[in-house]
């Protein structure tokens, strides 16, 4: 008798919970379908999307839709125009902030060395800040600078009340020593396998010094830990992953229950994208350089986010018909006809992807502009929190 | 000409790098095959296993072995005996520490409420501490205690120099309010979908207060962030994931390049296990309650680690022949014949798994004892660091 009552109570609870989950899903969809003037992004706070973890007997909480049939031509996800819309919303927020409290958000960038892709990225970030009315300052250092110089500059930005966001442009330079390379024995090589290039700057030490409240790149381990943990909210979500999510949401791509494959596991792109997609209830696999037959894994994915940095790695055989493809890869390739002597190429064979996927981001004009737009959003948010401005 | 030289240099670099990677793999295997008296675990420091991320054109850095043929009976991974061996090594280290500097490691446990599984876990932890010569103290609180009481107790342990490890036994209790439940409207239910049970204790706030240097459970977001990020080393790896890894290493299971599926994505088990396996270069997929057809994903995995907490979820149809199965699930099931009136059941249909897998952990006697052994290791390490004892 006691067991029966218990069983009945349990069944009622289960049914009620299912209703709640369905209710939650509807509420979430409603949230995504409405934006107010002040709301810049569709990305909701992460804790708001945490679902109770209830395992169905056959895990059919969400209905299975058969994969879409091959499409003749994929939708091109126009990151550039979405980023422009977001930037213009940020600009109007900044204007309102200036008019209302006489303050504007400030971004400080630390740039070490002369990597041409880094120079381009920083130039674009500064230009975007200007467009949005965000004050920006760049501290430039030579390749061979001392770590202390960077740390001193960083500490000043940490204390500067007019700076609300600080970013260290990665990767930090490494001193090359190819000549030394062949002189060493194999054993020493094994021991120094990470040291084809000598890292004279301690990236971890430098990034950890960035004040948590100004870490608009979201690379501080506390932000990363809170991004990975259910029930936690990072102060800032890293810009590229946040931009990818925003592209998916604005393109109406369903994430909950979908198979997502992230190609690449870097700390600044692959890993946080995987964590973010998982927080949004995708079933995520990270494919990396040690993965055997990666195409066998990617070709089952509904969503492919690639950040390997290997031009044309993703052929049509890697993709499932109807998949959504987000290409984060940007590899500079020499091109004398281009403005700066090179052009950026993605990980994806774009033409091939267009013929099989349901939606694809181009390179350039896809994720790149979104990364910058998200940087503006994070810097604005940081200033809003500091001034209690809504 | 210039291009040819560049190409030749690049090819040489690639070949050299491959040699280094192969060299690294050999070195790593050598490391794993040797233990000294002072070295308790096989688990190497995480940064030492970081590989350069070099994508082969067809990603064949590691040779593909066809899946093993079905085995008649799996090897049983005896967690109990491995844990006993580790505990005895910890004990001899503690003895040496006491004789040499007159100090012993100390563990403080915070236990809130009367959950019978929590009571069992804490009882076992204290017993293990006694066996290893580690001093232990338990601060017990009732279900309905005030958050401040826990925080005060925690702060005292943070400052106590004789305490080297602090753990808050999870989950923290929730106050039930089933009666309230049916009185509410559906809309309110949607808004409070996480609140069938009221959480009067803020788990995040409590765990964040644990001093990073004493966080032997490894649940602090900084530890979790550093666990997830390549090139970083958490002070402590959470005990259950660390125990699972140690079981795999001691059973001679190859992890690099293998497909691993983790079932469950909790902050304390599923998530950190997935992060740890990825740091060891497995291709990891996390399956959770929103995953459609989870068995189609798990049945392709070389390594399955399950932490869903759903008894008998994993049937033989979920497993690939020859897979290695680590069962973290422990569900208390009433059993009047058992010592405490209940027994623990895992996620895996044990008999079915034995007939298809190549190795399986039993429940109890698998991961459970390893979790406790890892807690002893982490507490010992913490004391060693504090006293500079090696």
DSSP of A304-357, one letter per residue?
A: EEE----TT-B-GGGS-TT-EEEE---EEEE-TTSTTSEEEE-SB-HHHHHHH-
Question: Region B320-349: what's the mean pLDDT?
Answer: 90
Position A266 scores a pLDDT of: 94
What does the alpha-carbon distance between residue A264 and residue A287 come to, in Å, rounded to a whole number?
A: 6
Q: How far is A181 from chain B (nearest CA, A)?
A: 10
Residue B178 has pLDDT above 60, yes or no: no
What distances in angstroms separate CA B266 from CA A21, A49, B86, B95, one per listed residue? 18, 15, 26, 36
Q: Is A148 exposed, middle or buried (0-12, 13-18, 19+ CB in 10 A)?
A: exposed
B50, B228, B285 member nearest A284 (Cβ)? B285
Residue B139, strand partner residues: B110
CB contact under 8 A, A59 and B294: yes
Q: Which of B61, B106, B117 is nearest to B283 (CA)?
A: B61
- B24–A193 CB contact, under 8 Å: yes
Our answer to whether residue B80 is catalytic in this structure is no
Determine the average pLDDT of the residues in B320-332: 94
Contact criterion met (CB below 8 Å) for A323 and A302: yes
Both tokens of residue B171? 């989950």
pLDDT of residue A41: 83
Of B203, B221, B308, the CB nearest to A225: B221
Measured distance CA(A205)–CA(A72) in Å, rounded:
50
Which residue's structure tokens are 């109406």?
A252
Q: What is the DSSP letter of A272?
A: H
Which residues 268-297 on chain A approach chain B with CB closer than 8 angstroms? Answer: 271, 275, 278, 281, 283-294, 297
pLDDT in tens, A29-64: 555 555 555 678 877 777 777 767 676 644 333 333
Contact A228 B225 (CB under 8 A): yes
SS3 assignment, position A275: helix
> Would you state the CATH architecture of domain B75-79+238-369?
3-Layer(aba) Sandwich (3.40)
Model pLDDT, residue B3: 53
3-state secondary structure of A381: helix
User: To probe the interface with B, which of A183, A265, A290 has the most B CB atoms within 10 Å?
Assistant: A290
A278 pLDDT exceeds 50?
A: yes
Q: Of residues B322 and A178, which shows the higher confidence score?
A: B322
**Confidence (pLDDT) at B183:** 43
Q: Which residues of B touch A10 (CB under 8 A)?
A: none
* Nearest CA distance, A130 vs chain B (angstrom): 33
CB-based contact B193 A52, cutoff 8 Å: yes
Q: Under the phi-then-psi rule, with left for phi > 0, alpha for psi from -120 to 50, and beta for the rest, what region is B133?
A: left
**What is the DSSP track for B309-358?**
--TT-B-GGGS-TT-EEEE---EEEE-TTSTTSEEEE-SB-HHHHHHH-S
The values of phi and psi at residue A130, to 5°, are -60, -45
Binning pLDDT at 50, 70 and 90, where does residue B68 land?
very low
Q: How many CB pairs under 8 A join A and B?
A: 200
Band (pLDDT 50/70/90 cuts) for residue A68 is: very low
Interface test mutation site (partner A, options B171, B198, B228, max chain A beta carbons within 10 A): B228
Residue A76 at interface with chain B, using a CB cutoff of 8 Å: no
Q: Which residue of B has its CA nearest to A22?
A: B190
Q: In chain B, which residues have their Cβ closer than 8 Å to the Cβ of A24?
A: 190, 193
**pLDDT exceeds 80 at position B328:** yes
pLDDT at B49: 76
How confident is the model over B358-362, as a mean pLDDT?
98
Q: Kindly determine whether residue B61 and residue A189, on different chains, have CB atoms separated by under 8 Å.
A: no
The 10s digit of each residue's pLDDT in B38-57 is 678 877 777 777 767 676 64
Candidates B59, B193, B291; nearest CB to A20: B193
The residue with greater pLDDT, B31 or A87, is: A87
Using CA atoms of B160, B165, B169, B172 in order, give the dihedral in degrees to the nearest 10: 60
Q: For this structure, is B125 an active site residue? A: yes
Give residue A302's region: left, alpha or beta (phi > 0; psi -120 to 50).
Answer: alpha
Please tell me the distance in Å from A100's CA to the nearest CA on chain B. 33
Residue A188 has a pLDDT of 47
Report CB contact under 8 Å: A228, B229.
no
Instruction: Give B-chain residues touching A288 at CB under 8 angstroms.
Output: 53, 278, 281, 283
- Cβ partners under 8 Å of residue A296, min gap 6: none
Q: In which band, very low, low, confident or very high, does the pLDDT at A289 lie, cut at 50, 70 and 90?
A: very high
Q: Kindly determine whether residue B291 and residue A59, on different chains, have CB atoms separated by under 8 Å.
A: yes
Distance between CA atoms of B63 and B56, rounded to whole angstroms?
12
Judged by CB atoms closer than 8 Å, whether chains meet at A229 and B271 is answered as yes
Specify the pLDDT at position A15. 52
pLDDT band at B339, cuts 50/70/90?
A: confident
CA distance A165 to A157: 9
pLDDT tens, residue by residue, B179-193: 344 444 444 444 444
Query: Closest chain B residue to A51 measured between Cα atoms?
Result: B194
Of A194, A281, A308, the CB nearest to B52: A194
pLDDT digits (tens, 9 = 90+) for B92-106: 999 999 999 999 999
Q: Give yes or no for residue A166 having a pLDDT over 60.
A: yes
Q: What is the mean pLDDT of residues B5-34?
A: 51
Query: B214, B215, B217, B327: which is the annotated catalytic residue?
Result: B217
Per-residue pLDDT at A69 = 47
Distances A201 to A19, A128, A265 between C-alpha atoms, Å:
54, 28, 22
Write down the pLDDT at residue B73.
82
Q: In this predicted structure, what is the pLDDT of residue A321?
A: 97
**pLDDT for residue B117:** 81
Q: Which of residues 217-236 of B touch A (CB under 8 A)?
A: 220-226, 228-232
Whether the CB-CB separation of B354 and B316 falls below 8 Å is answered with no
- Is some CB atom of chain B closer than 8 A to the CB atom of A22? no
Residue with tokens 């290695």: B324
Q: Average of pLDDT values for B246-256?
A: 96
Looking at chain A from residue 324 to 363, which residues have their Cβ under 8 Å from any Cβ of chain B? none
Rounded to an integer, what distance in angstroms lies between the CA atom of residue A369 and that of residue A366? Answer: 7
Instruction: Please give the pLDDT value at position A189.
Output: 47
Q: Of all residues in chain A, what percent carry a pLDDT higher than 70?
A: 79
ipTM greater than 0.90, yes or no?
Answer: no
Q: Respond yes or no: is residue A217 known to be catalytic.
A: yes
Contacts of A223 in chain B (CB under 8 A): 225
Closest B-chain CA to A334: B3
Q: How many CB atoms lie within 10 A of CB A387?
A: 15
User: Which residues from chain B sit within 8 angstroms of residue A186, using beta carbons?
Assistant: 19, 23
Is the pLDDT at A109 greater than 50? The verdict is yes
Q: Would you call A21 an interface residue with chain B, using a CB distance cutoff of 8 Å?
A: yes
Tell me how far apart the alpha carbons of residues A83 and A247 are, in angstroms, rounded to a whole number: 9
Our CA-based measurement puts residue A310 at a distance from the nearest CA of chain B, in whole angstroms, of 8
Buried b (16+ CB within 10 A) or exposed e, B105-136: bbbbbbbbbebeebebbbeebbebbeebbbbb
The 10 Å CB-count burial string (b at 16+, else e) for A250-276 is bbebbbbbbbbbbbbbbbbbbbbbbbb
CB contact under 8 A, A228 and B256: no
Q: Which residues of A touch B290 (CB under 8 A)?
A: 51, 61-62, 256-257, 281, 283
pLDDT above 50 (res B64)? no
Comparing A174 with B288, the larger pLDDT belongs to B288
Residue B312 in contact with partner chain A when CB distance is under 8 A: no
* Minimal-distance CA residue of chain B relative to A66: B292
Q: Lowest-pLDDT range, A186-200, B232-246, B314-328?
A: A186-200
Taking alpha carbons only, the member of A78, A70, A77 closest to residue A357 is: A70
The dotted CATH code for A75-79+238-372 is: 3.40.50.720
Q: Which range has highest mean pLDDT (A72-76, A132-136, B8-12, B227-231)?
A: A132-136
At residue A51, the pLDDT reads 67
Nearest to B24 among A24, A190, A313 (CB): A190
Rounded-to-10 torsion of CA A364, A365, A368, A372? 140
Matching residue, tokens 């298809």: B356
Task: Give the pLDDT score at B169.
Answer: 96
What are the residues whose beta carbons fall under 8 Å from the beta carbon of B226, sequence distance 6 or more? A221, A225, B232, B233, B234, B235
Helix residue ranges, H only, chain B? 2-33, 46-49, 79-101, 116-132, 147-159, 178-181, 186-191, 203-209, 221-228, 239-250, 270-279, 294-298, 350-356, 367-387
* pLDDT tops 90 at residue B334: no
Task: Give per-residue pLDDT as tens, B200-213.
Answer: 789 999 999 999 99
Confidence of residue B6 (pLDDT cuts 50, 70, 90): very low
Which chain A residues touch B61 with a CB distance below 8 Å?
289-290
Evaluate the omega torsion of the peptide bond into residue A107 and state whether it is cis, within 30 degrees of 0.
Answer: no
Percentage of chain B exceeding pLDDT 90: 67
């Amino acid at each position: 008798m006691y067991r029966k009552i218990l069983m009945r109570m349990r069944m009622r609870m289960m049914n009620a919970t299912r209703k709640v989950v369905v209710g939650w899903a509807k509420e979430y969809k409603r949230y995504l379908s409405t934006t107010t003037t002040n709301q810049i992004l569709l990305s909701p706070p992460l804790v708001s999307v945490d679902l109770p973890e209830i395992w169905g007997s056959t895990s059919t909480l969400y209905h299975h839709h058969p994969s879409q049939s091959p499409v003749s031509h994929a939708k091109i996800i126009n990151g550039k125009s979405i980023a422009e819309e977001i930037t213009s919303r940020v600009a109007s927020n900044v204007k309102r902030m200036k008019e209302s409290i006489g303050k504007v958000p400030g971004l400080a960038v630390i740039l070490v060395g002369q990597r041409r892709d880094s120079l381009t990225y920083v130039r674009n970030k500064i230009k975007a800040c200007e467009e949005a009315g965000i004050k920006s300052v760049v501290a430039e250092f030579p390749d061979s600078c001392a770590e202390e110089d960077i740390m001193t500059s960083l500490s000043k930005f940490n204390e500067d009340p007019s700076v609300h966001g600080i970013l260290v442009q990665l990767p930090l330079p490494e001193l090359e020593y190819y000549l030394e390379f062949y002189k060493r024995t194999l054993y020493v090589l094994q021991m120094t396998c990470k040291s084809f290039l000598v890292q004279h700057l301690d990236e971890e030490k430098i990034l950890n010094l960035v004040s948590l409240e100004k870490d608009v790149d979201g690379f501080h381990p506390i932000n990363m830990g809170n991004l990975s943990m259910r029930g936690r909210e990072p102060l800032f979500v890293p810009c590229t992953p946040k931009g990818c999510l925003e592209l998916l949401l604005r393109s109406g791509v369903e994430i909950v229950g979908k198979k997502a494959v992230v190609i690449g596991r870097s700390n600044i792109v692959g890993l946080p994208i995987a964590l973010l997609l998982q927080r949004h209830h995708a079933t995520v696999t990270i494919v990396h350089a040690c993965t055997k037959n990666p195409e066998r894994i990617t070709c089952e994915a509904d969503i492919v986010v690639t950040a390997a940095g290997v031009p044309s790695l993703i052929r049509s055989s890697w993709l499932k018909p109807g998949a959504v493809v987000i290409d984060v890869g940007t590899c500079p390739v020499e091109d004398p006809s281009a403005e700066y002597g090179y052009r950026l190429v993605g990980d994806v064979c774009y033409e091939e992807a267009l013929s099989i996927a349901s939606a694809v981001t181009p390179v350039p004009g896809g994720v790149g502009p979104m990364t910058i737009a998200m940087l503006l959003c994070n810097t604005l948010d940081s200033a809003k929190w500091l001034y209690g401005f809504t």
